[in-house]
Structure 1
Amino acid sequence: MDIFERKPVNHAIHTSPSNDLRLVESAIPDIQPHECLIHVRATGICGSDVHFWKHGHIGDMVVTGDNGLGHESAGVVLKVGADVTKFKPGDRVALECGIPCSKPTCYFCRTGQYNACPDVVFFSTPPHHGTLRRYHAHPEAWLHHLPDNLSFEEGSLLEPLTVALAGIDRSGLRLADPIVICGAGPIGLVTLLAANAAGAEPIVITDLDEGRLAKAKELVPRVRPVKAALGEDAKGFAGRIVSELGQEAKLVMECTGVEASIHAGIYSARFGGSVFVIGVGKDMLTFPFMHLSSREIDLRFQYRYHDIYPKSISVAAAGLVDLKPLVSHRFQLEDGIKAFETASNPASKAIKVQIVDE
């Protein structure tokens, strides 16, 4: 029986400027000659999806109309366009969801920094619908073959792994570099896995939640967890971090975007060290400027990624990073609203919530 006969409705999860969340029925898309029609089999809920739902914007990216969510996805090719050469129906794929313009007149695309393309189509970022739907049309150039030894859930988790690897790549992390990871949420935990695979030593990870710190210890037994306390002085907290690390950090990977956490990370860094902020925070934050200046600490930021997906697939397929333990909850596509409620509720103790469609 044809899949469209079994599942004729293209369900999707949408939000709007009213900050609502809905399961909608959308049309099965027609594909262009350069596109493949994908049956999306697994999609992870990202913090940005929750942020667009709850707050309606991230920086200058504003929900102004009906907007589909989701950008951490993997699935199966159902149909291919006339110009497609790399894929055929039945191929298992991971979806890279930032589609740059690729025009020769675009400086950023021409120089390989396609994550900075001003005309990028990033699925789930307004006004572009996301991939949290049953059927999705995707350009061939931004699909990646998913190895047989990786599940669809692992394929969807390649996206946050790619974010972490992009930061690790740009940070210049070397074997036995001391590192602090601020935040043990999904990105923090994936960053921990990546730093562990890269040979960072020692590693400290921080969080307010003891359960997430326990998860970090389960994933990487040699990590040194430090529990944060609400309202604690940043310098005092940094002192506890440095004491547990045994030295000041060469590299701090800040995965929360919370101002107090960024401050603690800065105060934990050594002279000439680096603080990489991956987390998404408020539009305006303050930083200890003179401390950064007088200690030559580089404060850097990570915006998405470029040319990292193949590397993520390689390290996951080789077993250098095991993504499976990150999944804490699973829901069917039709239960997507429950999935979002779980992902956004601290009481659920969710790490990574997956929405699957068989």
Structure 2
Amino acid sequence: MANDNLAAVLYGIEDLRLEQRPIPAISDDEVLLKMDSVGICGSDVHYLVHGRIGHFVLTNPMIIGHEASGVVAKVGKKVQHLAVGDRVACEPGVPCRYCEHCKAGQYNLCPDMVFCATPPYDGNLTRYYKHAADFCYKLPDHVTMEEGALLEPLSVGVHACRRAGVGLGSKVLVLGAGPIGLVTLLAAQAMGAEQVLITDLVQQRLNVAKELGATHTLLMNKDDSAEEVAKQVHKLMGVEPDKSIDCCGAESTTRLSILATRSGGCVVIVGMGAAEPKIPLINALAREVDIRGVFRYCNDYPAALALVASGKVNVKRLITHHFDITETAKAFETARYGHGGAIKVMIHVQPKDTNNKV
């Protein structure tokens, strides 16, 4: 095994460096992964620009990256379901497995969760990374490594749609056509939604959403009032949506999601914005509109993998840019500023397509 373990390390605000790190030693229930593809998430960019997300504050150097796939290079003694050479997607959050939340099946709420690239824990934009074997999912031969990396954002969309109760015949409003809005669109369609209307401030992203199958798109302006946009939504859909999923988290979109949803419907808020936004709560209460939060995902990776493997969901269209790990700075700049219509920027730790079997 080569000693090269180049890693992208965030030292502080606007301070991202490439440096060598020791290859980690694994425990009996872990695997050592030779990383392949790592997508850049909005949260990665947020840590670069602000050094924190809520109460998660960068205080020590941290390897960045959490949307990832790799090849098993070494297996722990207790690992039965994986072997050296297996291509896997890695679910980045590993819970304690013993607390009340874990035992109740809500491991995403585990207070002792170890999550890639969330301070103080290192991420996986590195040549070699160790991970809990039971949170690695073997990829079928026809699924690419890039698709494996994109199971992470897709799982957010699956979880959001499950929280919303999306099913056959649902009329769904999705706020925001960024990566999470687009995977939510894909998940909603796969789960049987009859209509999906998606909004954004950028027409190019709405064009992609239309290409992916959105039944309606709505270009918004920052100055639009939520009340007026809600009327536009109802007119376009011909009905009030029974599910609204806010993938932005801005006060304006959260307001819109509540005002646009039909009485008795459900609003799910995925995007995280201000700590205490001003929202029409009484409107929601008087109309029995449920408001639900989303924190990452839970038990959703297998479903996300099944959607991709079956061909029901095409995440490949989301990837707009490819970079080598040595070009990490340029990759982050592209993702940060949306250069060239960037949606999902993929960093290849090994040369592109090295481990793809299709």
TM-score, normalised via structure 2 length: 0.95
Show CA shifts across 1:268-291 (max 9, x none).
Answer: 100011110111212231211221
1:34 equivalent in structure 2: 29
* SS of equivalent residue, structure 1 residue 85: coil
Q: Does 1:76 align with 2:68?
A: no
**Matches of 1:183 and 1:26, distance apart in 2:** 37
- Structure 1 window deviating more from structure 2 (160-169 vs 345-354): it is 345-354
* SS of equivalent residue, structure 2 residue 346: strand
* Mapping for residues 139-158 of structure 1, pairs under 5 Å: 139-158=132-151
Residue 164 of structure 1, aligned match among 157, 169, 172: 157
2:354 equivalent in structure 1: none
Letter in 2 for 1:33: D
Runs of at least 4 residues of structure 1 off by over 4 A? none
1:110 equivalent in structure 2: 103
Residue 206 of structure 2, aligned match among 204, 208, 213: 213
* Paired residues of 2:34 and 2:73 also in contact (CA < 8 A): yes
Structure 1 unaligned spans of 5+? none
1:300 equivalent in structure 2: 292
* Mapping for residues 49-68 of structure 1, pairs under 5 Å: 49-68=44-63
* Paired residues of 2:126 and 2:349 also in contact (CA < 8 A): no
**Matches of 1:66 and 1:45, distance apart in 2:** 18
Show CA shifts across 1:308-358 (max 9, x none).
Answer: 111111111000101111100000011111111100003432110000122
* Mapping for residues 6-25 of structure 1, pairs under 5 Å: 8-25=3-20
* Paired residues of 2:163 and 2:268 also in contact (CA < 8 A): no
* Mapping for residues 117-136 of structure 1, pairs under 5 Å: 117-136=110-129
* SS of equivalent residue, structure 1 residue 16: strand
Structure 2 unaligned spans of 5+? 351-358
1:88 equivalent in structure 2: 83
Show CA shifts across 1:68-127 (max 9, x none).
Answer: 111110010011122222111100111011110112xx1111111111110110011100
Shift of 1:267: 1.1
**Matches of 1:300 and 1:57, distance apart in 2:** 24
TM-score, normalised via structure 1 length: 0.95
* Mapping for residues 256-275 of structure 1, pairs under 5 Å: 256-275=248-267
Residue 181 of structure 2, aligned match among 175, 178, 188: 188
Letter in 1 for 2:131: H
RMSD between aligned residues:
1.2
Residue 314 of structure 1, aligned match among 306, 310, 313: 306
* SS of equivalent residue, structure 2 residue 228: helix
**Matches of 1:18 and 1:226, distance apart in 2:** 35
* SS of equivalent residue, structure 1 residue 87: coil
Shift of 1:17: 3.5
Residue 249 of structure 1, aligned match among 216, 223, 241: 241
Letter in 1 for 2:116: F
The total of aligned residue pairs comes to 350
2:220 equivalent in structure 1: 228
Show CA shifts across 1:130-182 (max 9, x none).
Answer: 01111101111111111111100000000111111111112211211111000
* Paired residues of 1:16 and 1:56 also in contact (CA < 8 A): no
**Matches of 1:236 and 1:250, distance apart in 2:** 18
Identity of paired residues, percent? Answer: 42
* SS of equivalent residue, structure 2 residue 71: strand
